Structure 1
Amino acid sequence: MQNERFPGTHATRRHGALAVLAAAALMAACGGGGDGDANAGTPPVDAYPLVATPTVTGPVASEGFLSATRNYTFYATDVALASRGYVEQEFFLEGKAKVYNEPAVDYAATTLPAFSGDAAVVAEGVPYKTRIVVRRPTDPAKFNGTVVVEWFNVTDNFDGEYFWVQAKDELLRAGYAYIGVSAQNNGIANPNLGLKWFSPTRYGSLDVTAGGSVTQDKLSYDIYSQTAKAARAVPAVLDGLPVKNVIAAGMSQSGWRMGPYANYIHTRAPIYDAILVQVATPVLRDDLKTPVIKVLSESEATGGRLAASQPDTATRKTYWVAGSSHGDVVQRMGRTGVRLRDLGPQNTGNDACLGGTVATRTRTPLGHVVGAAVHHLKQQVETGATPPSAPALTLAADGQSIARDANGNALGGVRLAHMEVPTARADGVQCGNVGAWVPFDTAQLATLYPSQADYVAKVTAAVGASVAAGFVRAEDGARTIAEAQTSVIGRGLQCGLLCQAAGHFRADFSSTGLLRENTAYYAIRDGERIQQAIDAAHYWMASGYSSSGSAARYHFNFAIASLQQYIELVRAAQAEGRVTATAGELLVSQANTIVRAAEAL
């Protein structure tokens, strides 16, 4: 259904017709319908009357990625949703929003501001128009009843879905619906990268400033509340899927905005059942009734924030994840393909830590803990089960920084297999928000893990502990074990430049280690042969670096052959709809880059 408007709680035509038929059947069964029927014409009860219901238009048609006016959904996912039983749709939201007198976001604060009670409404009826992106199951039987609404991050001057890239595996396999909302002006009107710059044809009418009269994103909080109201009250948004609960989510910049929202606005008009804050440390009130989980990396443990970490309560938990960073490798993988497609290579830069001398992007999977946190919040809302608590990262003797072991890795915190069975120095503070990931050399790895069986056994034990503690979902734990089983750790092999997983993709460089990671990120349906091909290429590449002369050339040629098979399999999966065109082009381009470099060895 294209370009239809659904004002207030009005349903789509299909759902409206079903409602009429159901009402008629009920009246006939009860013998009602006359003037004496007390229920005749009674409107449905609004369960959230303090939050206005916006008008919803859509789904908005897209012309495809070759559109001359770029009339398609900005940052449309490069995950093959249809192969997973999901669909992506975009809608426009418009209505009248309130302005509050909430305290401004203070990124340096470690205590609550001198502000008591709830925020007051200082203006209302302010018009706005924005957009939401919906990803939902196509089969109602798969929907688990929970919607997660991400407040898009606008730090990079465009809408960033940085919660989605970390949580997508849990959301897709467990049947969640996802909504991302453009709540802030920078993502819409930034002159260089905003939605209006991207496609004036599609997004030119969006405005969250009332024509420039309302600044500082003062409408954003009520827009965010109205997005939840649309999910609950406008059937068109989720094609009539029955919503049981809605979880709020914000990452980094938008995670910080969850502080004023949770403390002073949501308290007066609650509409979210739980809140997830990712890699941001807003101070939260002790008396909040809405459950909140913060999932934090090492990068947030600066400026006194680790020392001031709030204690857990029944409704507030904090998970500091050792060995992780604010913008880890998944954040990079999750945006590279769509960023190249929508913003171009000129706006897709490379990391440069200490002049390129330190490898960047931590590999400890923060997203596994994010997925577990979503699961725990859903369980707490539905069953009352309290999420587990976790120790904070250990403070160093200075009382401010993170204590580290002899390898330079953090002590304390949520300890995933990547830190309990380390293969690299991980530092979420070095290199800014992206962190450092410096693989151990071959000799150190051989000392730590004399055989592959030893390495896999240790990883398996560490994963089991994380799953049992509730910080990793079983499916994610199984992926970590599978990665260990197909790695070259414990085999006595040397992983050279075209083998190592360090840094990130660049237009001019990749490696089998990087391509293994990016292939795993897409979780391709029935993609076992694709993963096996890149695993084989990785093994042969390491074997080549571990040999010399004709033996090395022999192994490198096998790596090249495996990469060529990989390319064929990715192309076949793309033709079958199991890999999107955006992802397929990225993966094939990187495989070809490795082939060319390997041929020159």
Structure 2
Amino acid sequence: MTMTKALGRLALPATAAAALMAASGAYAQDVPPMPQVEGPVATTLGNMAHPSRRGPTLGQNPPMDWPADREPAFFDYVEDEFFVTGEANGAPYTTRYVFRHPADPEAFSGFVAIETLHPAQSAQMWMASRVGGMMNGHGYVEVVNTPGLIGSLQAYNANRYEDLSIEGAVTEQGAADPAQNEIIAQIANLVQTANPLGEEWNAEYLVMSGASATSRTAMNFMEQENGANAWTAEDGSPIIDAMYVWDTDGPTQDVLDSTYHVPVIILSTQTEFMDGPRTFAEDSDEEGSQFRLYQVAGMPHLESREMYEAGWSDCTAPIDDFWYNAMVFQGMDWMYNWLANGDAPPMADKIEYESDEVDAAIVTDQYGNAMGGVRSPQVDVPRETFTTPNAGGFVCGLMGVVEPLPQEVLDTLYTSPGDYAKQLTEATVDLIEQGYFPEEYVFEITEEVERYAEQVGAM
């Protein structure tokens, strides 16, 4: 993949493309060495691969099964695990990465999200956006790049992962571990230019991704001394084409301008912005500073509905039922269209605050939901109030709370469950047409209407 091709995706003017190509020479470092690869490593019933879902190595319950129509097999998707061996920070390593992709290469979109395994033992981008991603043929790469994460694999299946180790993970106190970034760079180069499954599986658009802790890992990679173009492929093009992360606030303007040279999308949940307004980078279409910040009203830090094993029993308030995964996939869809079609995502309103003071409260509507920001059908056609955090254990602090609206309020809004369904559907369609909700997740409407019927039936 050439630099010209990478720039052409965004339909840049020739002068801007030439300028960025010239600038990339100043930022480029060495091409990452290509690691040795073993795999795909077969999985059998007695020798299972780590599932990249929360638990059980954190002392939690075993990960829950997803509904059959949200599992990889339903979409004819394959989860291939590979063992890779190389050198990082001057020392040897052997680790694993997983490539999740359609079984048929003809169904592969060429778009690949790369992330590191989260300390909670989950591949966050894969878990959250998988339904929409699989509907569109996108690929997912999960990298294990620290000794602690290898320890979690070995705790799950000691025999399968006994030979994995990272010896170069040594750093001065307070400094980023250089082995982490080198491992990411080497695997990124592999999946973009020399995918072991064959060149038809090479990523055409490779996007750095992550959530919460792994959003910081992603940003650490992109914010290396030489910026987003710190690592290049053999032809000089960046090995990372863009960054999309969520559960974070994102960079300030000076960091965006000085270190990022590819499109960036930040999706911020209400957990991140509930403590008052802060200064962020401005949304921009300027070449080299292409940026979007989306603050999603009512969205909690975690997808509570798929995380019963993470600590629901400790939470003292009702757990939220926000359409979390739909909003995460929406960010992925924005980025795909930005890269593949040159369609710049919308610039959304930001959350409204009562003042500009650091600790100012969010402005809420008459139903208690946040005003401004990216909207969702659930806050525009309310049956509940969404707030965050929940109370109880640590994980509860990352979950949201729902407070059902009183029956007398619901009676003023909807004449029946059918009327609620009609209004919810109309709001969903309207947001889809505006580009703020993915059509892949309209199935959420049915389940939401069922919850409404249960709610009013119980009142």
> What TM-score results when the alignment is normalised by the length of structure 1?
0.61
Structure-1 residue corresponding to 2:282: 311
CA distance in 1, matches of 2:305, 2:187: 27
Q: 1:144 aligns with which of 106, 109, 114?
A: 109
Give the equivalent residue in structure 1 for 2:50.
74
Distance 1:412 1:76 in 2: 34
Matches within 5 A, 1:100-115: none
The aligned counterpart of 1:222 is 182
1:438 deviates by 2.1
The amino acid that maps onto 2:72 is L
Could you tell me whether the CA contact under 8 Å between 2:169 and 2:177 is conserved in 1? no
Q: Partners of 1:52 and 1:404 in 2: how far apart? A: 52
1:440-455 equivalences in 2 (<5 Å): 440-455=405-420
Residue type of the alignment partner of 2:270? E
SS in 2 for 1:200: coil
Counterparts of 1:412 and 1:463, CA distance in 2: 17
Residues 1:388 and 2:360 are matched in the alignment: no
**Correspondence 1:293 to 2:265:** yes
Distance 2:93 2:229 in 1: 23
Contact 2:250–2:293 under 8 Å retained in 1? no
Question: Contact 1:463–1:480 (CA<8 Å) still a contact in 2?
Answer: no
State yes or no: 1:324 paired with 2:287: no
State whether residues 303 and 325 of structure 2, in contact with CA within 8 Å, keep that contact through their aligned partners in structure 1.
no
CA distance 1:446–1:323, shift in 2 (3 Å): same
- What SS does the corresponding residue of 2:257 show, helix, strand or coil? coil
* 1:92 to 2:83 alignment: yes
Assess, with a 3 A threshold, how the Cα gap between structure 1 residues 51 and 485 changes in structure 2: closer, same or farther. same
Tell me the SS of whatever aligns to 1:254.
helix
* The one of 242, 250, 267 aligned to 1:274: 242
Report the counterpart of residue 63 of structure 1 in structure 2: 44
Letter in 2 for 1:435: G
- Counterpart of 1:494 in structure 2: which amino acid? G
Higher mean alpha-carbon deviation, 374-383 vs 230-239, is at 230-239
Please give the secondary structure, in 2, of the residue aligned with 1:236: coil
The CA deviation string for residues 281-303 of structure 1, in whole angstroms up to 9 with x for no partner, is 24241252211111111001155
Deviation at 1:440, TM superposition (A): 2.4
Task: Give SS of 1:377's match.
Answer: helix
| Residue identity opposite 1:73 in structure 2 | A
1:359 aligned residue (315, 318, 323): 318
1:373 and 1:471 in contact (8 A); partners too: no
Which residue is 1:177 aligned to?
Answer: 139
Q: Which amino acid aligns with 2:261?
A: K
Counterpart of 1:515? none
Count residues with an aligned counterpart: 392
Give the conservation status (yes or no) of the 8 Å contact 2:302–2:399: yes
Change (3 A) 1:89 1:384: same
Question: Are the aligned partners of 1:371 and 1:472 in contact in 2 as well (CA < 8 Å)?
Answer: no
Q: Which residue pairs with 1:83 in the alignment?
A: 74
Taking structure 1 as reference, are residues 436 and 238 closer, same or farther at Cα in structure 2, changes over 3 Å only? farther
- Offset from partner CA, 1:55-111 (integer Å, 9 cap, x none): 1111112231xx3xxx3211267553233111111111221224xxxxxxxxxxxxx
Q: CA deviation at 1:262?
A: 1.7
Contact persistence 1:393–1:402 (CA under 8 A): yes
Distance 2:217 2:78 in 1: 29
Q: Distance in 2 between matches of 1:243 and 1:210?
A: 28
Letter of the 1:145 counterpart:
G
Tell me by how many angstroms 1:424 deviates: 1.1
Partner of 2:16 in structure 1?
none
Partner residue, 2:31? 50
Larger RCO (CA within 8 A; separation ≥ 6): 2
TM-score (norm 2): 0.78
Q: Which runs of 4+ in 1 moved over 6 A?
A: 211-215
Partner of 1:495: 458
Q: Return 5+ residue gaps in structure 1 as ranges.
A: 1-46, 99-124, 337-347, 497-601
Give ranges in structure 2 of 5+ residues lacking alignment: 1-27, 54-64, 232-237, 392-396
Q: Quote how far apart the aligned CAs of 1:225 are.
A: 1.6
Give the letter aligned to residue 116 of structure 2: W
Q: Are residues 310 and 428 of structure 1, via their aligned partners in 2, closer, same or farther at CA, if it must alter by over 3 Å? A: farther
Deviation, 1:470, is: 1.4
Q: Report the equivalent of 1:465.
A: 430
Counterpart for residue 117 of structure 1: none
Give per-residue Cα distances to partners, 1:462-509, cap 9 Å, x unaligned. Answer: 212221221211221x223333554544x994237xxxxxxxxxxxxx
Contact kept? 2:323, 2:444, Cα under 8 Å: no
Amino acid in the other structure paired with 1:311: E
Q: Which residue is equivalent to 2:439? A: 474
Aligned-partner SS, 1:201: coil
Using the alignment, how far apart are the partners of 2:350 and 2:405 within structure 1?
Answer: 26
Equivalent position of 1:350 in the other structure: 312
Q: What is the match of residue 161 of structure 2?
A: 203
How much has 1:319 moved relative to structure 2? 0.8
Distance 1:469 1:486 in 2: 26
2:98 to 129, 133, 144: 133
Is residue 54–residue 94 contact of structure 1 (8 Å, CA) maintained in 2?
yes
1:427 aligned to 364, 371, 387, which one?
387
- Gap change, CA 1:443 and 1:461, over 3 Å in 2: same
CA distance in 1, matches of 2:186, 2:132: 25
Equivalent residues in 2 for 1:248-259 (5 A)? 248-259=208-219
* Equivalent in 361, 374, 379 of residue 414 of structure 1: 374
Q: 1:302 to 1:443 in 2, by over 3 A?
A: closer
Larger radius of gyration: 1
CA distance in 2 between partners of 1:411 and 1:379 (Å) = 27
Query: Residues 517-532 of structure 1: matches in 2 within 5 Å?
Result: none
Q: Confirm or deny: 8 A CA contact 2:41 2:80 kept in the other structure.
A: yes
Q: One-letter code of the match for 2:403? A: V
Please tell me whether residue 371 in structure 1 is matched to residue 329 in structure 2: yes
The residue type paired with residue 475 of structure 1 is E
CA contact (8 A) 1:321 1:366 kept: no
Measure the CA separation in 2 of the matches of 1:389 and 1:213: 40
Matching residue's letter, 1:324: M
CA distance in 1, matches of 2:171, 2:293: 38
Q: Retained in 1: the 8 A contact 2:383–2:452?
A: no
* CA-atom RMSD in angstroms: 2.6
Q: C-alpha displacement at 1:234, in angstroms?
A: 2.8
CA deviation after TM superposition for structure 1 residue 350, in Å: 3.1
Which range moves more in the overlay, 463-472 or 415-424? 463-472
